[in-house]
Structure 1
Amino acid sequence: MKVIVAPDSFKGSLSGKEVCEAVTIGIHAYDSDIEVQSIPIADGGEGTAEAFTTILGGQLISERVEDPLGRPVDASFGWVEETKTAIVETAAASGLPLLQQGELNPYKASTYGTGQLITAALDHGAEQIILGLGGSATVDAGSGCFQALGVKFLDQEGGEMKMNGGALRHVSKIDTSQIDRRAQNVQWLIASDVTNPLLGKQGAISVFGPQKGVQEEDIPAFETGMEHYADLLETATGATYQSKDGSGAAGGFGFTLYALLKHVRVESGFTLMARLGELESRMRDADLVITGEGKIDEQTLYGKGPIGIARLAKEIGVPCVGFAGKMQGDLTRLKDEGLLSVLPIVEEPVTLEEAMQSSSMLLQHASKRCMEVYHLNR
């Protein structure tokens, strides 16, 4: 028997790779002869670097960079020597998981650390960079990242500013003449499922700002700052990207990527992973596919990794089940999409903190039970 284990991360608890390890232990506790292939997945957010690095046979390289608030943090990017490919996720250096409750600060949060990771990847000789845009804690439009790459953001007196969400409205001039030319020459693959424009009711601030700490009463001020910045950058580059699909991704990061880089291609995070990891061919001779993530609800239908796995499994005729730390809402439609059953891993009433601390063991137990039920129905 062959089982494909292809989960997303259980955010705040286990990475996709760690979920695979726990599920494999549980399956082998039932029958050590079962062949298990682990394929951790991600959609551009937290865990993207590890997941892509695993499927591409690379290694993680750690660097000391700045977190969203400018504090030192160790963050990793993936490296595949054979193809000179680097995998950078915005969440690793500039993501929400790096901030404690109460630390969200859209005025001060910056993507500068992501720019430091990209610089490190370029120093390694990257010829292609896969950049995951999910999970950022920032609304600085990626300006901090490009400051780390050499772009100058000047105030009215001509002094260089430190870029963050609050600085956008105060920029007077953008000087792109000293941008790291290596960034212009590499091939960029942007892993993102966000199609929102930069501005407006469906834009970066209105839709995603609140999850990054923007208060409702402050939305107009941040929107004005974003519009001011966008107009300046378009003046500096002669390009217009404010309405382009995906320009609102990661707090406007997508817009600056489009405006300042030459060789940019955007692809759905899951679609990109499925293509590079050859998921369809690897799943074709499987007897069962197991996926999952920390929370499965109706939103799972909208581009989340597990539903992508389920749809692919349905297409090739392989049964697929999902594990979840939490289930919520009407999940009937998930079955129609190929996720035949969602199995909660929690065994008894516990607090969220207790469940997260025990998630590896809970997944092991759930996997063993899953295999017992699977064989009862054969």
Structure 2
Amino acid sequence: MRILIAPDKFKGSLTAAEAAAAIAEGALRVYPDAVATQFPIADGGEGTLEAAVAAGYEERLHAVVGPILAPTGAAWALHRDPGGHITAVIETAQASGLADMEPTPENALRAHSYGCGQLIAAALEAGATEIVLGLGGSAMTDGGSGALRALGLKPLDAAGNVVPLGGASLADVSALDVSELDPRLAGTRFRIAVDVRNPLYGTSGAAHVFGPQKGADQDAVEMLDAGLRNWASVLREATGRDVNVPGAGAAGGFPASFLAFTDAVLEGGFALVAGLTGLAEQLAEADLVITGEGSMDSQSLTGKAPIALAHAARERGIPAVVVAGRILVTAEDLAQHGVVAAAQLLDVAEGPEDAVANAARHLVRATAQVLEGA
């Protein structure tokens, strides 16, 4: 038997790679003669970089400016195919992540994506002509303006001064100086992993929907939304492109600047990462798929990585089993998506705190139990 073990991260307790190792141990207790392939997956958000590295991409580290100017170290990944084509994978969470910022109204207004731009510059220096941007866990609501600042763009106010970094200053931008914008951007394809449909601004836009998660109070939300609205207008005047499109509101509106100035496309996260990592080839050889994530809930059923993988397995006639930290949907819900059996760590742990603190040990047990009963 060939078992494909392909979980997403168990946020707050295990990386996807750590989860895969624990699930493999549990699976081999039940099927000791099986070939268990560990293959971490992601849906284009946090964990995308980890999935790429696990699939053979070269991890690199770079010092960058964090979301509120404090320096931080950020990882990214690079891959050169046999034909010499170079692809880079960058996560917004690495350089401009909420983990590097206290979520307060002041910080929500100041936060920027400059560090992401520094990673893009490093990828261009390495020869990348295709850059995959994984969005998720971001601190900023700056429409991607900070990233373009790192690549040479100068947003100017009415007096001709460069405005400060951060979403709060976008309302003051009246013109763009593109004379120093990195010319390599024109020859680079950007593939942006986006699974949300939120526009850049408005009541369902980046500031109103995601701003409060980053510390923005109502006043800050209104300021950030006004800034994004003005930023879209300035971008449209400079490039002729309308960036207030479905998906542009992801990661604080980060896609907007790249939709304006580069050959950028928005793609579904799971399909994009699966294509990069060779998941289809792994799936073609599997007799059983085991997947999972920290919380399997109604949002998971909208197409997040584990459920998307279960769908893909069902299309090939391969049974899929889910092991999650907690499961907040019914067995019938999961069955509709191709899942034949499921277990949660809460079934074997003493409680939620124990499930998080000892997630790997409980994941081994839960995997073995669900396979014995499947």
Pair in the same fold by TM > 0.5 = yes
Q: What are the within-5 Å matches in structure 2 for residues 355-374 of structure 1?
A: 355-374=355-374
Shift of 1:372: 2.9
User: What is the rounded CA distance, in whole Å, between the counterparts of 1:249 and 1:66 in structure 2?
Assistant: 21
Structure 1 counterpart of 2:313: 313
1:143-187: CA deviations, max 9, x gaps?
111111111122343332332121112223221221111122112
| Cα distance in 2, alignment partners of residues 184 and 105 from structure 1 | 32
1:225-304 pair list within 5 angstroms: 225-242=227-244, 244-261=245-262, 263-304=263-304
Distance 1:52 1:69 in 2: 27
Counterparts of 2:26 and 2:186 in 1: how far apart (Å)? 46
d(CA) in 1 for partners of 2:12 and 2:219?
29
Partner of 2:139: helix, strand, or coil?
Answer: coil
Cα distance in 2, alignment partners of residues 331 and 171 from structure 1:
52
In the TM superposition, residue 75 of structure 1 has moved relative to its aligned partner by: 1.3
Which region of structure 1 is more displaced relative to structure 2, 24-33 or 200-209?
24-33
1:182 paired residue number: 184
The answer to whether the 8 A contact 1:175-1:236 is kept is no
On the 8 A contact 1:295/1:324 being kept in 2, the answer is: yes
Q: Out of 96, 105, 108, which is 1:106 matched to?
A: 108
Contact 2:168–2:223 (8 Å) recurs in 1: no
Give 1:6's aligned residue.
6
Distance 1:239 1:60, change over 3 A: same
Which amino acid counterpart does residue 129 of structure 1 have in structure 2?
I
Instruction: Name the structure 1 match of 2:89.
Output: 87
Q: In the alignment, is residue 60 of structure 1 matched against residue 59 of structure 2?
A: yes
The match for 1:75 is: 74
State, as a whole percentage, how many aligned pairs show the same letter.
39
CA contact (8 A) 1:345 1:362 kept: yes
**Offset at residue 287 of structure 1 (A):** 2.4
* Long gaps (5+) in structure 1: none
Q: Match for 2:253: what amino acid?
A: G
- The TM-score with structure 1 as length reference comes to 0.91
Q: How far does residue 328 in structure 1 lie from its aligned partner after superposition?
A: 2.1
Counterparts of 1:35 and 1:137 in 2: how far apart (Å)?
Answer: 41
Q: 1:100 to 1:221 in 2, by over 3 A?
A: closer
Distance 1:139 1:312 in 2: 34
Shift of residue 102, structure 1, vs aligned partner? 5.9
Q: Distance in 2 between matches of 1:73 and 1:344?
A: 35
Secondary structure of the residue that 1:130 maps to in structure 2?
A: strand
TM-superposed CA distance for 1:90, in Å, is 0.9
Shift of 1:52: 2.4
Give the AA of the match of 1:165.
G
Contact 1:109 1:138 in 2 (8 A): yes
Q: Do the aligned residues in 2 keep the contact of 1:104 with 1:212 (CA within 8 Å)?
A: no
- 2:22 partner SS: helix
Per mean C-alpha deviation after superposition, the further-off stretch among 84-93 and 180-189 is: 180-189
AA of the residue aligned to 2:251: A
Deviates more, 1:337-346 or 1:1-10: 337-346
Matched to 2:350, the amino acid is P
2:6–2:39: 8 Å Cα contact kept in structure 1?
yes
**Distance in 2, Cα, partners of 1:272 & 1:36:** 24
Q: Counterparts of 2:123 and 2:33 in 1: how far apart (Å)?
A: 40
Q: Which amino acid in 1 is paired with 2:366? A: A
Structure 2: stretches of 5+ with no match in the other structure: none
Counterpart CA distance in 2 for 1:212 and 1:331 is: 34
Amino acid across the alignment from 1:265:
V
- State the Cα distance separating 1:4 from its structure 2 match: 0.6
Asked if 2 retains the 8 angstrom alpha-carbon contact of 1:53 and 1:80, the reply is: no
Partner of 1:28: 28
Q: How far apart, CA to CA, are the structure 1 residues paired with 2:178 and 2:4?
A: 47
1:165 matched to which residue of 2? 167
- Using a 3 Å threshold, how does the CA distance of structure 1 residues 245 and 101 change in structure 2: closer, same or farther? closer
What is the distance in 2 between the residues matched to 1:79 and 1:32? 35
Relative distance call for 1:248 and 1:28 in structure 2 (3 A) is: same
- Structure 2 counterpart SS, 1:106: helix
Q: From 209, 212, 231, give the equivalent of 1:210.
A: 212
Opposite residue 258 of structure 1, the aligned amino acid is L
In the TM superposition, residue 190 of structure 1 has moved relative to its aligned partner by 1.3
Give, as a single letter, the amino acid of the residue that structure 1 aligns with 2:160: G
Distance 1:104 1:326, change over 3 A: farther
